[in-house]
Structure 1
Amino acid sequence: MGVLRAVLAWLLVPVICVAGLVVYLAKPFNPNNNCWLGRVLARSGRWILGMERPLVGLQNMPRDRPIVVIANHQHNDDLFVMGDLLPPRTVTVGKSALAWLPFFGQVFWLGGNIMINRAKSGRAVAVMQATSNAITRDRKSLWVFPEGTRSHGRGLQPFKKGAFYVAVAAEAPITMVCASPYDSRTSGLLGRRQPVTVQILPPVETAGLTNADIPDLVERCRNQMQQAVNALPAAE
């Protein structure tokens, strides 16, 4: 039953994206489209999976100024766990290969999200620098998985520094979103997913920091997230 729920949840994604194309084509590159899509995908997905998502610290997510959000990345199902937490006018960072995913890739592009080819590091750096300008000029927020790849619930991996360079350049606060360790295990005859708790930590201000402060900033944020993740109840 749990496998069937997972298949249905992911089959619903392209269906919602096709419907979402109408919204995206009517308002192309409007970052608020991403908030709408994330909310619909996450809540629909959790409902199908039978997953509860206790949330702690929602008041710590600023909604009145541009921010850089960093979150731990465990599985593809993070879309269902955290997709409805995007603050207003948020764009996200993803691999350039996402553009080839049917329907999802098209709405991802039309949402003004940032596609990075990690094989071309110089290009990736240029894109992130342009992103800091967009945060300042267009008052957009940015959502990044700083680990760069999925951890599969095995703890935080090392952080890449791109999001921190953006935050410092834009003097935008960093807000950390921490999801408890989880996997695809289910419980009960109906195959409901185990609950995944998410905690949002208070913002870390970056005003006045320089690039020289970034290594310490990365370590400080990672340590705070690690402590928070360790304290959250793991799925059993």
Structure 2
Amino acid sequence: MAASCILNFFQYFCIAVALLVPVVCKLYTSSRRCHFYLKMVFYMCYVMATSFLIIVFAVRDPFNPDNTRTIGGWLLFHIFKVDKFLGITIEERGLENFAIDGPFIIACNHQSSLDLIPMFHSAPKRCTGMGKRELLFAGPFGFAALLCGGVFVDRRPGQARTTMDKVARDMKDKNFRLWMFPEGTRNHTSGMLPFKKGAFHLALQAGIPIVPVVVSSYKSYYDKKTYKFEDGKMIITVLPAVSQKPYSLETVQEYADTVRTQMLKVFESTSAEAALKHH
């Protein structure tokens, strides 16, 4: 009886798949909006599958920042080949600027959920990410990030300062690097939003430099507002480290503005280049 039920279920499942696959393929190729949403669903499935497997592999060495690169990056790009599936060609420049002894902070521009691609693709050794505390409860993704040594900031009054004090100590004691998005929120427009000062306060407090990372604009192939998600080119540029030594708490805004100005120039040039090569 049980075997018969299983067989019937399998038959109905195969019939459903046979009917749905042509419909999905037709919508994927004929409707811009459906193409966008289906591609985003596939991308999120990639992220969730990677998160589950990170949990499986990282429990052997939990909270190790190297899990970001050696497990997460390996799964996304060598096993799942997410860049090939999405049709995104990645070009890296200036990786030699990561060759710094000791901890440092990576300041990267923030555009969309696709920012996981440059982070997992280009993260140096012993690098993890910082995010808001709410991400810790984002299902398997939050737990996977935790097992990769992720830092979660409680942004309630009085709590963020305590977290940042601990992070400053841990970065020096445990010698790890921290990937941060100083814009603070995703920027769906052109250019870059003004930088918040948290990353730069942390650099001054820990006595470590900022390494800017610029990811070219996604606009030529990805635009949430117009439901565009095509093949495209992503240029990831690692700039030379910007030392914290000339700055103080009184000039932290100048520190943030200096880094942003450098990044914005590279963002504009590489975005134009990537869009030109895309077309």
**TM-score where L is the length of structure 1:** 0.89
CA separation in 1, counterparts of 2:163 and 2:220?
34
SS at match of 1:202: coil
Which of residues 81, 93, 96 in structure 1 aligns to 2:130? 93
User: Superposed, which structure 2 residues align to 1:207-222 within 5 Å?
Assistant: 207=245, 209-222=247-260
Residue 145 (structure 1) aligns with: 181
Matching residue within 83, 92, 104 for 1:67: 104
**What's 1:225 paired with?**
263
> Could you tell me which residue of structure 2 aligns to residue 170 of structure 1?
206
Q: Which residue of 1 aligns with 2:159?
A: 123
Which has the larger Rg?
2
Q: Which consecutive residues of structure 2, in runs of 5 or more, have no partner in the other structure? A: 1-27, 29-34, 223-228
Partner of 1:104: 141
- For the residues of structure 2 that align with 1:173 and 1:127, how far apart are their CA atoms? 19
Query: Are 2:182 and 2:196, in contact at CA under 8 Å, matched by a contact in 1?
Result: yes
Aligned-pair distance for 1:63? Answer: 4.8
The residue type paired with residue 204 of structure 1 is V
- What CA distance in whole angstroms lies between the structure 2 residues aligned with 1:51 and 1:41? 17
Distance between the aligned counterparts of 2:113 and 2:83, measured in 1? 13
Paired position in structure 1 for 2:197: 161
For 2:180 and 2:262, locate their aligned partners in 1 and report how far apart those are by CA, in whole Å: 16
Amino acid at match of 1:205: S
Provide the rounded CA distance (Å) in 2 between the counterparts of 1:230 and 1:207.
Answer: 28
What count of residue pairs does the alignment treat as equivalent? 231
Q: Do the aligned residues in 2 keep the contact of 1:41 with 1:79 (CA within 8 Å)?
A: no
Of 70-79 and 18-27, the range deviating more from structure 2? 18-27
> What does residue 193 of structure 1 align with?
231
The structure whose residues are more often helix, as a share, is: 2
Q: Unmatched 5+ residue regions in structure 1?
A: none
Equivalent position to 1:36, from 63, 67, 70: 70
Matches of 1:132 and 1:99 in 2, distance apart?
A: 20
Match of 1:202 among 234, 240, 243: 240
Letter in 2 for 1:181: S
Distance in 2 (alpha carbons) for counterparts of 1:21 and 1:184? 34
The answer for the alignment partner of 2:117 in structure 1 is 80
Aligned partner of 1:20 in structure 2 is: 54
Paired with 1:100 and 1:199, the residues of 2 have a C-alpha distance of 31
What is the TM-score of this pair, normalised by structure 2?
0.76
* Aligned CA-pair RMSD: 2.0
Check the 8 A contact 1:42/1:79 in 2, yes or no. Answer: no
Tell me the distance in 2 between the aligned counterparts of 1:148 and 1:55: 24
CA distance in 2, matches of 1:45, 1:72: 21
Shift of 1:8: 1.8
Cα separation, 1, equivalents of 2:193 and 2:157: 20
Q: Which has the higher contact order (CA 8 A, sep 6+)?
A: 1
